[in-house]
Amino acid sequence: MTERKTNFKTIWQRAKIRPILLLFAFQGIAFALLLFLPMGLMMNSLGNSFPFIENAEKIQSDGITANATLTGIKGIDNITVNGNNPQILTYEFDNNGQKTESKFSVFEPEKTDNLKIGDIIPIKHLNGESMPTEFEQYSFSMDFMYYIAGAILLIGLILSYLLYSRINKEISLYKTGRIMDGKIISISHNKGFTFSKFGSSMDVHYEYGNNVAKSRTNNFALTNNKSIGDSIKILVSKDGNSSCLYPELIAKTNGWKENYVA
């Protein structure tokens, strides 16, 4: 079966007559992606700022107890919570006769304010990793921002799907719909965006057979010199359940033949 020719311009023309749906779909996806990018860069930068022990729970339960000597206390300057900075504790301990240095991130100002270089702190170590037992590990989390970005992305994708489903139905009619005549019931104009003509269109209600339908177009010439009760050319699906206005300008641009039978 030969289909009528369409192109990307046809799809764009059908999308832009639904400006609200198009705008929110685009903004939802664009905002989410723009949010993910700086968040990823920020998390990568912060991840390089302080150490993080992946197997903290296993070290706590199965680790070997030892004492370590505190050799450094350094604040993480690019993170501030209530006027306080997380701290990186650097310490040394004996691991089977070998002096080992480790670092650990904490955020417990009431404890770290009393620490000084040379203090002995209890630790546990396992398979080359260690952690102090008197401090909770600090980790900077922006999971809530990922949830927000993910929710916005999901909304954008849902709106994009709704836009696609409406356009796809019309494109299918453009390709294989039967040319028929409908009778105009009413014509209403949509102004689009207030400060521009983008999205301006009109809704034409018409009837064919026992069906009443509505189709949107931005080709205002279609209804020139037409009034309620006049006939207008439409495209109807093979089962007769869906239809749209026959797009005269698109048909001429793509070289459609009016005597075409899908």
pLDDT tens digit sequence for 159-179: 999 999 989 999 999 998 999
Beta bridge pairs of residue 244:
235
CA separation for the pair 49, 80 (Å, rounded): 13
What pLDDT does 83 receive?
81
DSSP state of 228: T
pTM score: 0.58
What pLDDT does 232 receive?
93
Indicate if the pLDDT at residue 1 is higher than 70. no
Banded model confidence at residue 96, pLDDT cuts 50, 70, 90 = confident
Contact 80, 69 (CB under 8 A): no
Indicate if the pLDDT at residue 6 is higher than 90. no
Q: Which of 10-24, 28-42, 116-130, 164-178 has the lowest mean pLDDT?
A: 28-42
What pLDDT does 195 receive?
66
Contact 85, 79 (CB under 8 A): yes
What pLDDT does 66 receive?
93
Beta strand residue intervals within the chain, DSSP E: 64-75, 87-95, 98-106, 120-126, 129-132, 178-190, 201-208, 211-217, 231-236, 243-245
Q: Please give the average per-residue pLDDT across 239-255, as a whole number.
A: 89
Most confident range, picked from 74-78, 105-109, 137-141, 205-209: 205-209
CA separation for the pair 54, 225 (Å, rounded): 74
What pLDDT does 141 receive?
63
What pLDDT does 258 receive?
63
**Separation of CA 111 from chain center:** 42
Most confident range, picked from 90-94, 142-146, 150-154: 90-94
Indicate if the pLDDT at residue 142 is higher than 70. no
Contacts of 218 (CB under 8 A, 6+ apart): 13, 16, 17, 200, 201, 202
What pLDDT does 31 receive?
86
Pick the more confident residue, 154 or 47.
154
What pLDDT does 49 receive?
62
CA separation for the pair 217, 202 (Å, rounded): 6
Contacts of 181 (CB under 8 A, 6+ apart): 208, 231, 232, 233, 234
Q: Which of 36-40, 45-49, 231-235 has the lowest mean pLDDT?
A: 45-49
Q: How far is CA 16 from CA 9, 57, 162, 261, in A?
A: 11, 54, 14, 29
Q: Where are the domains of the chain?
A: 8-33+146-253, 51-132
CA separation for the pair 7, 17 (Å, rounded): 17
